[in-house]
Amino acid sequence: MKTMKAVCIYSYGGPGVLKYEDAPRPHPREGEVLVRVHAAGINPVDWKIREGHLKEMLHHTLPLILGWDVSGVVETLGPEVKRLKSGDEIFSRPDISRDGAYAEFIVIKESEVALKPTTIDHIHAAALPLASLTAWQTLFDTGNLAAGQRVLIHGGAGGVGHLAVQLAKWKGAQVIATASAHNHDFLRKLGADQIIDYKTVRFEDVVEPVDLVLDTLGGEIQERSWKTLKPGGILISIASPPSAEIAKAKGVRQAFVFTEPNAEHLAEIAKLVDAEKLKVIVETILPLSDATRGQELSEHGHTRGKIVLRVI
Ligand SMILES: NC(=O)c1ccc[n+]([C@@H]2O[C@H](COP(=O)([O-])OP(=O)(O)OC[C@H]3O[C@@H](n4cnc5c(N)ncnc54)[C@H](OP(=O)(O)O)[C@@H]3O)[C@@H](O)[C@H]2O)c1
């Protein structure tokens, strides 16, 4: 049996449950490709799954390889693969119910794979799929964000936030973002029109009414966000489902989005990157064997841009 290095969990728990070890190399079945992973992005969902927060929703079988952001090269094809060929450089946000990309190889459905942007390396391409799909699906698919509208993006400097700021600007929206002071120059360079230091200012006291709020934090931030919406505006959360009753009472709309794999969206995102309209920022690069450190950094909650594991 061929093996590969991988980072697995055998039980839910703290960072200590992550095991860097030899695992069986997977085989592609119908409609799937085997990808040699060059880099794997880290997202908060990785440590949330490790801690068991999503076990009721996702029903994983353990042991499980974590990590659902990948950039790499197609190694072999399963039967009935139509679009991809071996040697293609790809990126993907694969199916989160299956083994992930903290590994030397991953099997992915062809329908979840797009050709990676040609102007960036695998490290940067691996930082993109989950966070950029989240920004795309919240702002455009659910929010129907249009030119001239105003959008408030919480956590503007984070993985999702820094891409959402740029995508909203690309669409022609006016962008207000929250971040602590040390991230303000960073966000200004990405195009944010107004940046609010959430540590010293109550955003709801200074924001003119907006058409859309992207809530990346939930809890108290979500509660205080209702006040910032125009009549008919929409509060979209990726952290926790907003109350339909409150939305109705306030004459606004609400949605919770759980990001889905989407190769067509990724192809659009790759075009924007190659046209220099969208830039992904990678703050920290670690070797695969240091996944524990990467997850600890992510869990701290103050990443600027993204953290990526280098596999090759
Ligand atoms: N539903 C879905 O499908 C989906 C998809 C993607 C992500 N998510 C969730 O969305 C959340 C954000 O994801 P992410 O990848 O962007 O996380 P992330 O990269 O870890 O976000 C870190 C950022 O959050 C900022 N931040 C922390 N506290 C803040 C506050 N009170 N106000 C404003 N900004 C604050 C930090 O900025 P400072 O350093 O300036 O404080 C930092 O830049 C996570 O909970 C993640 O699990 C859900």
- pLDDT tens for the chain, 312 residues long, are 899 999 999 999 999 999 999 999 999 999 999 999 999 999 999 999 999 999 999 999 999 999 999 999 999 999 999 999 999 999 999 999 999 999 999 999 999 999 999 999 999 999 999 999 999 999 999 999 999 999 999 999 999 999 999 999 999 999 999 999 999 999 999 999 999 999 999 999 999 999 999 999 999 999 999 999 999 999 999 999 999 999 999 999 999 999 999 999 999 999 999 999 999 999 999 999 999 999 999 999 999 999 999 999
Q: State in Å: Cα 280 to ligand 1 middle.
A: 15
Q: State in Å: Cα 298 to ligand 1 middle.
A: 9
Phi, psi of 276 (to 5 degrees): 60, 30
Q: Regarding beta strands 194-197 and 210-215, do their DSSP bridges make them parallel or antiparallel, or are they unpaired?
A: unpaired
Q: State in Å: Cα 268 to ligand 1 middle.
A: 23
Give the atom of ligand 1 at the shortest distance from the alpha carbon of 181.
40
Provide the token pair at 145: 């964000």
Identify whether the C-beta of residue 302 lies closer than 8 Å to the C-beta of residue 35: no
- Which residue, judged by its Cα, is nearest atom 34 of ligand 1? 155
Give the atom of ligand 1 at the shortest distance from the alpha carbon of 304.
43
Q: State in Å: Cα 88 to ligand 1 middle.
A: 32
Residue 178 to residue 160: CA distance in whole angstroms: 13
Q: State in Å: Cα 299 to ligand 1 middle.
A: 10
Alpha carbon 64 to chain centroid, angstroms: 20
Nearest to residue 296, comparing CAs of 5, 26, 4, 46?
A: 46
Q: State in Å: Cα 302 to ligand 1 middle.
A: 8
Q: Regarding beta strands 150-153 and 70-77, do their DSSP bridges make them parallel or antiparallel, or are they unpaired?
A: unpaired
Nearest to residue 254, comparing CAs of 240, 271, 272, 270?
A: 240
Identify whether the C-beta of residue 192 lies closer than 8 Å to the C-beta of residue 214: no
Instruction: Tell me the best of 139, 160, 207, 304 to mutate to test the pocket of ligand 1, counting ligand atoms within 8 Å of each CB and taking the most.
Output: 160
**pLDDT at 140 (0 to 100):** 98
Identify whether the C-beta of residue 260 lies closer than 8 Å to the C-beta of residue 133: yes
Q: Where would I find the beta strands (DSSP E) of the chain?
A: 3-9, 18-24, 32-42, 64-65, 70-77, 89-92, 105-109, 113-115, 150-153, 174-179, 194-197, 210-215, 229-237, 253-256, 282-287, 306-310
- Which residue, judged by its Cα, is nearest atom 42 of ligand 1? 302
Give the atom of ligand 1 at the shortest distance from the alpha carbon of 162.
16
pTM of the predicted structure, to 2 decimals: 0.98
- Which residue, judged by its Cα, is nearest atom 32 of ligand 1? 155
Residue ranges lining ligand 1, Cβ < 6 Å: 43-45, 48, 130-131, 134, 154-155, 157-161, 178-180, 183, 198, 216-217, 221, 238-239, 257-259, 298, 301-304
Give the atom of ligand 1 at the shortest distance from the alpha carbon of 179.
40
Instruction: Tell me the best of 137, 216, 258 to mutate to test the pocket of ligand 1, counting ligand atoms within 8 Å of each CB and taking the most.
Output: 216
Give the atom of ligand 1 at the shortest distance from the alpha carbon of 45.
47
The DSSP string of 107-156 is EEEGGGEEEPPSSS-HHHHHTSHHHHHHHHIIIIIIT---TT-EEEETTT
Give the atom of ligand 1 at the shortest distance from the alpha carbon of 161.
16
Instruction: Tell me the best of 46, 228, 302 to mutate to test the pocket of ligand 1, counting ligand atoms within 8 Å of each CB and taking the most.
Output: 302
Alpha carbon 7 to chain centroid, angstroms: 20
Residue 233 to residue 249: CA distance in whole angstroms: 13
Q: What is the 3-state composition of the chain as percent helix, strand, coil, each rounded to the nearest 5?
A: 35, 30, 35
